[in-house]
Amino acid sequence: MKLKVPVFFGVAVLCATIANVASANSGAFDLERWDNVIENIRTRAEKQNISKSVIDETLKSPAFIPSIVKSDKNQSEFTLTLNQYLSRTVNDTRVKQGLSKKAEYPTLLSRVEKKYNIPKNVMLAFWGMESNYGSVKSKHQLTSAFMTLIYEGRREEFFSKQLLALMKIADKNKLQINNIYGSWAGAMGHFQFIPTTLTQYGVDGNNDNRIDIINSVGDAMMSAGNYLNKLGWAKEEPIIYHVILPGDFDRSVLNGDTKKSFKEWSKMGVMKTDGTPLPENETIVGLIADTKQIAENDLFATPAEDSDVAVTPVIQAYLTYPNFYRIKKWNNSSWYAIAIGELSEKLK
């Protein structure tokens, strides 16, 4: 059962209730610390010239949410293999939905591409990965989520900055701050921006003189395009190049950190998926494969049956272009970056 108990100043009964709830979930609740957290945010917000109305609205009845503390303390370790991850993220349903959104928003996607040089299929891939094209609705009131995480203390300053940034966003864009919802860790909208990222890269995409990346697809899309552009996205450059490797390939270079030219990788045994040699060029790329899966001897079948070039068994891998590493600045996961590359190809 998920508990969400409001905290009001000077109401002893409710304070006692919170103490009991917190004690049952994560130890004794420190009411003095909670009050100090609230007053610290109030003081910092006043110094940053956030309006009194937004400050009062944010701090009049914040809720301590034990389930968020539990989520922060028990973040599960990533255990999916690459193939499992891709089967969940780059499936026929998501591709079909993405092509439907491509037909629904041709003008907006063209505007983003023209202004920020982000191809339509790349924008759609990020949108699909982050919120399943807006269909995944966040359920946490961000003011209470951030107050809970600040109180918890593990990343107090980080979440304090997120809450203050959210207050500024609500103030500037005339948004009802307690009606802004996101993930338990504070990501919001179609492209799951945290408040400090939105502050830096947010764009008014529908020209209504405010930025609302939750309710406006235009604002969300243009903001994401601006962010990718600032990361240095190269429009004409691929993300990944699907290849195969001999089963005895040197696994120490399969983490993406080692960079070589196509020509150099070819000499080491990297091949096209049909078993033929790589293009003879000097483009510098990295190389990624699922080393855990390889270690478990879960290698892949021989490629094309009519090929007499490829050795067997072979390993599925990806050569990674600079755009791959730009994606990792958005989300520092190689599997995520590969999924963006695979999904964007299917959405062309």
Q: Is the pLDDT of residue 235 over 50?
A: yes
Compute the chain's Rg from CA coordinates: 24
Closest CA to 270 of 293, 286, 291: 286
**pLDDT score, position 78:** 60
The C-alpha atoms of residue 194 and residue 181 are separated, in whole angstroms, by: 11
Q: What is the pLDDT of residues 13-45, one digit of tens each?
A: 344 344 434 443 446 889 999 999 999 999 999
Q: What is the pLDDT of residues 186-209, one digit of tens each?
A: 999 999 999 999 999 999 999 999
**pLDDT score, position 294:** 79
Residue 167 lies in a domain: yes
**pLDDT score, position 248:** 86
**pLDDT score, position 137:** 81
Sole residue written with tokens 């791959």: 324
Supply the CATH number for residue 156's domain: 1.10.8.350
**pLDDT score, position 1:** 36
- Identify the band that residue 76 occupies on the pLDDT scale cut at 50, 70 and 90: low
pLDDT mean over 122-144: 94
**pLDDT score, position 13:** 33
Residue 231 lies in a domain: no
Q: Is 111 exposed, middle or buried (0-12, 13-18, 19+ CB in 10 A)?
A: middle
- 55 shares a domain with 150: yes
Exposure string of 85-94, with b = 16+ CB inside 10 Å and e = fewer, is bbeebbeeeb
**pLDDT score, position 27:** 61
The C-alpha atoms of residue 284 and residue 306 are separated, in whole angstroms, by: 30
Residue 106 lies in a domain: no
Q: Is the pLDDT of residue 132 over 50?
A: yes
pLDDT mean over 70-76: 77
Instruction: Specify which residues 277 forms β-bridges with.
Output: 271
3-class DSSP state of 277? strand
- 247 shares a domain with 180: no
Q: DSSP string covering 42-92, please?
A: HHHHHHTT--HHHHHHHHSS-EE-HHHHHHHHTPPPP---HHHHHHHHS-H
- 181 shares a domain with 245: no
Full residue range of the structural domain in which residue 48 is found: 1-77+142-186
Residue 338 lies in a domain: no
Six-digit token string for 308: 């007499």
The C-alpha atoms of residue 140 and residue 190 are separated, in whole angstroms, by: 15
Q: What is the pLDDT of residues 80-94, one digit of tens each?
A: 889 999 999 999 999
**pLDDT score, position 307:** 59
Q: Is the pLDDT of residue 217 over 80?
A: yes
3-class DSSP state of 212? coil
Distances 273 to 150, 201, 202, 244, 246 between C-alpha atoms, Å: 49, 39, 40, 5, 11
**pLDDT score, position 305:** 61
- 146 shares a domain with 281: no
Domain count for the chain, please give it: 2
Q: Is 196 exposed, middle or buried (0-12, 13-18, 19+ CB in 10 A)?
A: middle
Residues contacting 154, CB < 8 A, separation 6+: 72, 73
Q: DSSP string covering 152-196, please?
A: H-TTHHHHHHHHHHHHHHHHHHT--GGG-EE-TTS-BTTTTB-HH
The C-alpha atoms of residue 274 and residue 6 are separated, in whole angstroms, by: 61
3-class DSSP state of 260? strand
Q: Is the pLDDT of residue 244 over 50?
A: yes
The pTM for the full model equals 0.86
